[in-house]
Structure 1
Amino acid sequence: MRTLLNPWFVAGCVIWVIVYSFRRLAHPVPWINGYVDDFFAVPVIANLSLWFMRGAVIRSNYYVLSAWKVTFIVIYVSLVFEVLLPAFSKTYTGDWVDALLYAIGGVFFYFVMNKPALSKKPKA
């Protein structure tokens, strides 16, 4: 549960709620809507993945995502949101700046957020 209480994860979720609310009101906030939410996209997705892996698969609060897994998330999100969706829908537009922000968010997640939930292993 500590994984979902990470202050950066909470901040990313709050930003998403703000962006979503203002979009629904037809008043998008330019910087948050255009850049900050893209930066937080990968950290939020990766943190949810980390929580799932810790709770359902690995069952260890010491587990962290490997660099390869974080890289996969960055590439996947970039391809889906910046290549595939714009190719199939006029609602979406591809933007290399967004892909760059996903990558920066991935690096941020890996080095800042991707820590064991517990600081020390208990002695056996």
Structure 2
Amino acid sequence: MEKRISYWFLLGLAAWGLIILLRQAGIYIPVINNYFTDCITVPMYCYLIEYLMNNVLGYHWKPDLKFVLTSVLYLSFLFEILCPRLSGNFTGDLFDALAYSAGGMVYYFMKVKPLETE
């Protein structure tokens, strides 16, 4: 079992870090700030759960479509419905939920679906 962290995951973390630094410097790139971060959230979340389940807890688990879809629903509910009601720092946006969905589908068709066909 591979215990190394994916380069794609590390690249996503680096992208998030760069975006946070740009925001702190007052540099705001609308599409990247608004939708790119949401689009990579579900793939990074799904990968992290899979990594923790398999490499930290020792299970032999593979995500499926139901897991990806419930991850999209969970993150959409959390960040687009619940958090905006609790804090003014969050805004609920349908396009963000669509970005979560797009990221989830990219993860499913690039990472999960090829595993089922082998």
**TM bin (shorter chain):** 0.7 to 0.9
Query: What are the ranges of 5 or more consecutive residues in structure 1 without an aligned counterpart?
Result: none
Say which structure is richer in helix: 2
Question: Which runs of at least 4 in structure 1 moved beyond 3 Å after TM superposition?
Answer: 56-60
1:1-124 pair list within 5 angstroms? 1-2=3-4, 4-5=5-6, 7-60=7-60, 63-114=61-112
Please give the alpha-carbon distance, in whole angstroms, between the structure 2 residues aligned to 1:15 and 1:32. Answer: 10
Please give the alpha-carbon distance, in whole angstroms, between the structure 1 residues aligned to 2:9 and 2:110. Answer: 11
CA RMSD of aligned residues (A): 1.9
Query: What are the ranges of 5 or more consecutive residues in structure 2 without an aligned counterpart?
Result: none
TM-score for the superposition, normalised by structure 2: 0.84
Please give the alpha-carbon distance, in whole angstroms, between the structure 2 residues aligned to 1:108 and 1:8. Answer: 13
Does structure 2 conserve the Cα–Cα contact (< 8 Å) formed by 1:8 and 1:113? no
TM-score for the superposition, normalised by structure 1: 0.80
Please give the alpha-carbon distance, in whole angstroms, between the structure 2 residues aligned to 1:95 and 1:13. Answer: 23
* Deviation, structure 1 residue 9: 2.1
Number of residue-to-residue matches in the alignment: 113
* Deviation, structure 1 residue 79: 0.3
1:15-51 deviation per Cα after TM superposition (whole angstroms, max 9, x unaligned): 1111111122222222211111110010011100010
Please give the alpha-carbon distance, in whole angstroms, between the structure 2 residues aligned to 1:58 and 1:67. Answer: 22
Please give the alpha-carbon distance, in whole angstroms, between the structure 2 residues aligned to 1:11 and 1:55. Answer: 20
